[in-house]
Amino acid sequence: MTLLEAREVHRVYHQGRPDEHEAVAGVSLAVEAGALTVLSGPSGSGKTSLLTLLGAMARPTSGRIFLRERELTSLPERFLTEVRRRTFGFVFQQPNLVRGLSARQNVMLPALPLGLDHAALGRRADALLEQLSVGHRARARSDWLSGGEAQRVAIARALVNDPEILVADEPTANLDSALSRQFMAIAADLKAAGKTLLLASHDPIVTDSPAVDRRVAMRDGRLEGP
């Protein structure tokens, strides 16, 4: 079943200016529920831009994005944020943890404005960190975490609101091979738990992983092949 769909989306940066650049040039893509889809391609191919469009992080310059039957592109910002918060969990290339907060506090961050019971939220954060094998670093300051630990805390943060779709942009860019394979194992577990995953990567460990259900190649803002 199609969970997420892009129809003829374009994304143009600096429109009207001399440095105008079309990162996504007319892409139509359907993402299946419960599948692990990977966007592959060299840097500059537009996969990060397409990811931000599909993940409701930015609006396309033209074209439409659908979440099930609901059109996201025409939603006002307020509702879009609501969707982003409840449906998507985003893992960036850099962990982008907030400095000065502990790992646990970072994981709880997306849920803070929801006014949930604080103690329950804390327990959930602890559980997630345990699942990702960084439970022992829960109270450590985010500045002190290693690259791999920080990345896993970032994944836990993306999962705290129990989103349907996990979106990750170059998740293994700063990880060594062992940690990269570990990441794909986590991804497989999440898929088994019923989540839909959408990754952008040019790392073979990701693209060639057996957990991947569909590989979509991109070049110069367009999809390559079938």
Partner 1 sequence: MTWRAALERQRSLLDFALLALWRRRGKNLSLVLVYGLTVFAIASVVLLAGALRAEAAAVLAGGPDVVVQQLSAGRPALVAAEAVARLGAIRGVSRAAGRRWAAYADPVSHATFTVLAPEGFEGRPGEVELGAGAAAAMRWKPGEKVGLLGEDGRWHFLEVRRLLGEETALVSTDLVLLAGEDFERLFALPPDRFTDVALTVRNPRELTTVARAAVGALPGGRAVTRPEMARTYEALFDWRSGLASVVLLGAVLTFALVAWDKAAGLPADERRELGVLKAIGWETGDVLAAKLWEGVVISVAAFLLGVLAAYLQLFLAPAPLLAPVLRGWSVLSPPLRLAPSVSPLELATLFFLTVVPYTLATVVPVWRAASTDPDAVMRS
Partner 2 sequence: MSPVRPSSRLGLAALAAALAVAGCLLHARTLRAPERRAASAALVARLGLTDLALFTEASYTRHLALADRLAPFLDHPQAREHFPSGALTAPPAPPEAR
Q: Which of 204, 220, 224 is nearest to 212 (CA)?
A: 204
Helices 147-159/118-131 angle, 10° precision: 130
CA dist 144 and 193 (Å) reads 31
Least separation in angstroms between residue 105's CB and partner 2 is 6
137 near partner 2, judged by CB under 8 A: no
Q: Is 66 exposed, middle or buried (0-12, 13-18, 19+ CB in 10 A)?
A: middle
Q: Which does 122 bind (CB under 5 to 8 A by kind): partner 2, partner 1, none?
A: partner 2
The minimum distance between CB 135 and partner 1, in angstroms, equals: 21
| Residue closer to partner 1 (CB basis): 6 or 212 | 6
**Window 85-114: residues binding partner 2 (CB under 8 A):** 102, 104-105, 108
Full strand arrangement of the beta sheet holding 214-219: 88-91, 165-169, 196-200, 36-40, 214-219, 222-224
Q: Say whether residue 122 binds partner 2 (CB under 8 A).
A: yes
- Residue 139 interacts with which of partner 1, partner 2, none, CB < 5 to 8 Å by class: partner 2
In this complex, which beta carbon is closest to partner 1, that of residue 113 or of residue 226? 113
Using CB under 8 A as the criterion, which residues of the chain lie in contact with partner 1 when the complex forms?
A: 52, 57-59, 77-78, 81-82, 84-86, 88, 90, 92, 96, 98-101, 105, 109-110, 112-118, 157-158, 161
The C-alpha atoms of residue 118 and residue 20 are separated, in whole angstroms, by: 46
Helical segments of 118-168, H only: 118-131, 147-159
47 binds, among partner 2, partner 1, none (CB under 5 to 8 A by kind): none
User: Sign of dihedral through CA atoms 83, 151, 153, 191?
Assistant: positive
- DSSP code at position 60: -
Q: Which is nearer to partner 1, 109 or 127 (CB)?
A: 109
Q: How far is the CB of 167 from partner 1 (least distance, A)?
A: 10
